[in-house]
Amino acid sequence: MKTEQENIVKTASPAKRSPVIEIKDLHKSFGDNDVLKGINLTVNKGEDLVILGRSGEGKSITIKCIVGLVIPDKGNISVLGEEIIGLNRSELNKIRVKIGFLFQSGALYDSMTVRENLEFTLKRHSTELSAQEIDTQVMDVLDSVGLSDAVDKMPSELSGGMRKRIGLARTLILKPEIILYDEPTTGLDTITSKEISELILDIKKKRKTTSIIITHDMSCAKLTADRVMILKDGVIHAEGKYEELEKSEDEWVRSFFI
Amino acid sequence: MPTLYFKNTFTDIGDVTLFTKKFFKEVFIPPYESKEFFRQCYLMGYKSLPLVAVTGFIMGLVLTLQTRPTLATFGAESWLPGMVALSLIREIAPVITALICAGKISSGIGAELGSMKVTEQIDAMEVAAINPFKYLVVTRILATTLMVPILVVFADAIGILGGYVGITIHSDVNAYRYITQVFESLDFIDIIPATIKTFFFGFFIGMIGCYKGFNASNGTESVGKAANSAVVTASLTIFILDMLAVQITDLFF
């Protein structure tokens, strides 16, 4: 009988580079619902990994486990060489500042302006910065997402795409080494989706970040992925390069690319 | 089923206890979110002043108008200022003001934090290595604990003013004489226990609002539930605390 690891449809072996995120045998249940049943994955430095899967397969839960928002039932998660399960809040926070997380909705603080949203995070982690330096950094990061005009707007005045860009700017302001994107293009029109996908690519090139991108948007996956993983029934069903999985012999895998 | 009901009730009590324990742990550990604390004091205290002023004035006025005929029957109209002041300070102003704060502040906190939970704003703080409990919960509970007693003192003063207006409708009473009679009828023993209980009212108004909002389940429906549940629970808690406070005051003073 084949093990789960052997059952994975592999189309290519990842290049041998230094791993930044390593997940081993990750399990998570909610009541009787076993969502993750032994996820194993490695993300190497500078790599953009796209995770695909049907809704409810546990893609978002996986990345929430990486930042400690969800505590797994079993398994190991190593981020930047540090085992994160079992860490206390202050130890975990030291790793969290190196990880950016873009939420599906943007999750902007809606009682604050765009400027305050960005300053709120920065001021708490860079207490030595002057008001002038904070302002410069805020404007720089807004420039990088193409929204410097929106600095004094409230989140309620922004469109869906703008909210995601500001969410991304808020993530970037701490200069993270890793960025986790939770469905960055969901709910956006085709043009805005493409702009967000290009922004993700641009961030990777300029800032040399490592990313995990959860998406249902195949054009986003095609544009951003160095490697693709597909979740099915709580385990990784297939992994490889986008073009290779597109031609996979596995019908279920191919169904994502139609 | 009664078993399930009791199980849920005891689970809730356990959760609230742990939430309260966490508050007392976090409140003493730096960093202190003083800017947010003062912002909340402004929003909860200053922004509630008009509402408390109108309510306080009406309380004093109505209490005077309703009591006056009965006192007049016994020829005891001169007791009116003292009676109004005592009733307001010992019982009516603290309870009514606290109930207003439960409706305005506790529900506001429940809805705000519930909405932040549903839209992942609390998670966003968590992943940005900012302690959301310290920033959102500790500041709000401290602000209500401080602001509710101040609002009650304000309501006391406005209520006494309302009482004076009520008296002058039927008779010509000198303001100085009215104030003198009010203060003559009051003792520290009337003011201190009544003020101490308002700190507890404030603490529980903030704590219940924060607990309901912070623990809202995902979904927009839960925001409304959190706000509604915060008002109901906070109002009920105020009555229970008031009953306990009166019993304790009665026992010792």
Is residue A15 scored above 70 in pLDDT? Answer: no
Query: In this predicted structure, what is the pLDDT of residue A9?
Result: 60
Q: B121 and A89: CB-CB below 8 Å?
A: no
Query: In this predicted structure, what is the pLDDT of residue B3?
Result: 80
Mean pLDDT of A186-196: 89
Mean pLDDT of chain A: 90
* Token digits of residue B80: 């009116």
Question: Which of B36, B112, B121 to mutate against chain A (most A CBs within 10 Å)?
Answer: B121
* Token digits of residue A97: 């500042």
What percent of chain B stands above pLDDT 70? 100
Do residues A200 and A48 touch, judged by C-beta distance below 8 A?
Answer: yes
Mean pLDDT of chain B: 93
Among the ranges given (A231-235, B9-13, B164-168), the one the predictor scored with the smallest mean pLDDT: B9-13
Mean pLDDT of B31-44: 94
Query: In this predicted structure, what is the pLDDT of residue B1?
Result: 63
Do residues A102 and A181 touch, judged by C-beta distance below 8 A?
Answer: yes
Chain A CB contacts of B130 under 8 Å are: 120-121, 124
Query: In this predicted structure, what is the pLDDT of residue A16?
Result: 55
Task: Give the separation between CA B11 and CA B226, rounded to whole angstroms.
Answer: 17
Question: Residue A1's pLDDT band (boundaries 50, 70, 90)?
Answer: very low
Is A104 an 8 Å CB contact of chain B?
A: yes
For residue B31, whether the previous peptide bond is cis, meaning omega lies within 30 degrees of 0, is yes
Is A120 an 8 Å CB contact of chain B?
A: yes
Does 3.10.310.10 match the CATH number of domain A4-98+176-255? no
Task: Give the separation between CA A210 and CA A214, rounded to whole angstroms.
Answer: 14
Mean pLDDT of B28-36: 91
Of B115, B125, B129, the CB nearest to A97: B129
- Closest to B41 measured CA to CA, from B153, B139, B184, B157: B139
Domain ranges in chain A with CATH number 3.40.50.300: 4-98+176-255
Mean pLDDT of B86-98: 96
- Structure-token match 């949203």, residue found: A117
- Closest to A103 measured CA to CA, from A69, A56, A76, A137: A69
Is residue A11 scored above 60 in pLDDT? Answer: no
Q: A107 and B124: CB-CB below 8 Å?
A: yes
Query: In this predicted structure, what is the pLDDT of residue A63?
Result: 95
Mean pLDDT of B17-40: 93
Query: In this predicted structure, what is the pLDDT of residue A157?
Result: 95
Is A79 an 8 Å CB contact of chain B?
A: no
Is residue B34 scored above 80 in pLDDT? Answer: yes
Chain A CB contacts of B127 under 8 Å are: 67, 69, 96, 99, 101
pTM confidence score:
0.89
What percent of chain A stands above pLDDT 70? 93
- Closest to B209 measured CA to CA, from B122, B105, B85, B129: B105
A95 exposure class (CB count in 10 Å sphere: 0-12, 13-18, 19+): buried
